[in-house]
Structures are given as C-alpha cells and as structure tokens.
A = this chain, B = another copy of it.
Amino acid sequence: MTRYAKQTRLLVAVDCIIFGFDGTEMKLLLVKRSLEPEKGRWSLMGGFVDINESFEKAAARVLKELTGLENVYMEQLFAFGEPNRDPIERTASITYFSLIDIQQYEQQISHEYHAEWFPVKKIPSLIFDHRDMIEMAKEKLRYKAALHPILFELLPPKFTLPQLQNLYEGVYDAIMDKRNFSRKVLSTGLLVKQKDKDKLSSKRGAYYYKIDKRKYLTKFNAFLNFVPNPQNLK
C-alpha cells in the first residue's frame, strides 16, 4: 500500500503578505497576477507548493523571487481553505506574513512581476480572498508586536528612536508620548546607542541605535508591553 485510496487531493499554494515601512507609513507589496483567472488584477505574491517542498520553503522561495531577500522575518499566518475561494479549482492557501526592510528591496525585480508598494490604508481591489488575508495579517501584526519586538524587522540595521516611534504609531494608529516611548523602549535593553546621528530628518540630528542581537534573541519571547492602554487613537 503506497497511497491513501479514494481521498481527494487539493492544490496547495502559499501567499505572502509582505509588510514594509518607508519611514512614514506601513506598506504592502502587491503584484499584478500573471495567470488566469483574474489575470492583470492586483494580488498577493503567491505560488504553488512544489512536490518536495515544505510550506515554509515555498513561502521563502516566493518571497525571494519577488524581493530578492532571504532570511527575513516570516511567520505562518493562517491556512485558507474555503472550497470556492479559487473559482477554477479548489486551492488551499497557506499564508505567511513577512516584515522586510523596505530599503533592501531590490527595485529592478519589481518590473518582472509588476510589483508595487501600497499603503495599507489604500489597498486596491484584490483577487479571491486576498483582502481577508491582509486584514488578518494586520490584526496579527498588531497583536504580536504588542508583545514581542518584531517591528525592528521593518527598519534598517541602524535607526533612530523617532523612526521607531513613527513605526509604532503607524501600526497602532496611535499617538505616543516620546518621553514615555523612549523610556519604555530603552528599558528593554535591546537597543545599543551609536555614536553617529541621522541628520536627514532634522537639523539637530537623532542618534542611531542598533539592536543587541544577543539580547534580542534571548528576550524575544519575554512578553513586552509596548502599547499604551488608553485609547490614544488618532
């Protein structure tokens, strides 16, 4: 006996929700779908899982094809499996969300897939259930980032506190007090102050910080609490 007889077999795809932060707002990388059905419409970057490939590998492959990036933060989001989510043939989609440093994204690759960054507030009409996927990813990102220091993954290796605060404010649609924010962030011990400053966005310049990789790995699963409770909603 080498097969489970009589059982249905399904197509299985991966779809990647790729977050980037341009210093001002959160963005998502979308592509123009290259195959029927719905050819030409915007969609998440995805692909079928190969016969001997794990889901993680498939998602990493798809991400690399599109962005040129490897070893980036990537996490399984959810398995979407409604029977009719793809009208052509039943296809399950295992979704992954990733956080990338938008500056490392290789521009030239985008032409091949007609990729474009869209502000998460202005996502165009998408195929299938891709909008649901994005909504879920946004929620999970907020959930996770409230407890773990994952948002650093969206920033370049050297970043300033104002940049970091902008990022948190964008993700949570909140205004935070810079004094409280810096105290909280620095109290984690995860940041190492650099000697040089970023002079681009202000006259005085803001000190760069780097992540303390060792502590980052150690403390990653220590629950944090970055998000202030009161409804500081914008």
Spell out A's residues near B (CB within 8 Å).
1-4, 7-12, 36, 48-55, 76, 78-79, 81-83, 88-92, 94, 146, 223
- A118→B3 CA distance, assembly (Å): 31
Please report whether the interface of chain A is mostly helix, strand, loop or mixed according to DSSP: loop
Bound together, the chains give a CA A78 to CA B9 distance in angstroms of: 19
Interface centre among A7, A55, A82 (most CB of B within 10 A): A7
Complex Cα–Cα for A8 and B78 (A): 21
Determine how close the nearest CB of chain B comes to the CB of A84; give it in whole angstroms: 9
Q: Which of A12, A51, A52, A94 has the most CB of B within 10 A?
A: A12
Separation in Å of the A198 CB from the closest CB of chain B?
33
Q: A3-B89, A88-B2 are in contact. Are A50 and B8 (CB under 8 A)?
A: yes
Say yes or no: A4 contacts B51, CB within 8 Å. no
B12 near A89: Cβ-Cβ < 8 Å: no
A92 to B: closest C-beta gap in Å: 6
Copies of the chain in the assembly:
2
Cross-chain contact A79 with B51 (CB below 8 angstroms) = no
On whether the beta carbons of A89 and B54 are closer than 8 Å, the reply is no
Asked if A54 and B76 sit within 8 Å, CB to CB, the answer is: no
In the assembly, what is the distance between CA of A88 and CA of B89, in Å?
25
* Residues in chain B near residue A48, CB distance under 8 A: 4, 7-8
Flag if B51 contacts A8 (CB, 8 Å): yes
Q: In the complex, A110 Cα to B90 Cα: how many Å?
A: 34
User: Do B81 and A12 have beta carbons less than 8 Å apart?
Assistant: yes
CB-nearest residue of chain B to A13: B7
Shortest C-beta distance, A107 to chain B (Å), equals 30
Structural contact, B1 and A83, CB atoms closer than 8 A? no
User: Which partner residue on chain B sits nearest A47 by CB separation?
Assistant: B7
**Is there contact, CB below 8 Å, between A10 and B8?**
no
A51: chain B residues at CB < 8 Å are 8, 83, 90
CB contact under 8 A between A55 and B81, given known A1-B88, A2-B89, A3-B89: yes
The answer for the CA separation of A10 and B205 in the assembled complex, in Å, is 55
Q: Which among B12, B83, B88 is the interface contact of A53 at CB below 8 angstroms?
A: B83
The interface residues of chain B lying within 8 Å CB-to-CB of A83 are 51-54
Contacts of A53 in B (CB 8 A): 83
- Whole-angstrom distance between the Cβ of A182 and the nearest chain B Cβ: 22
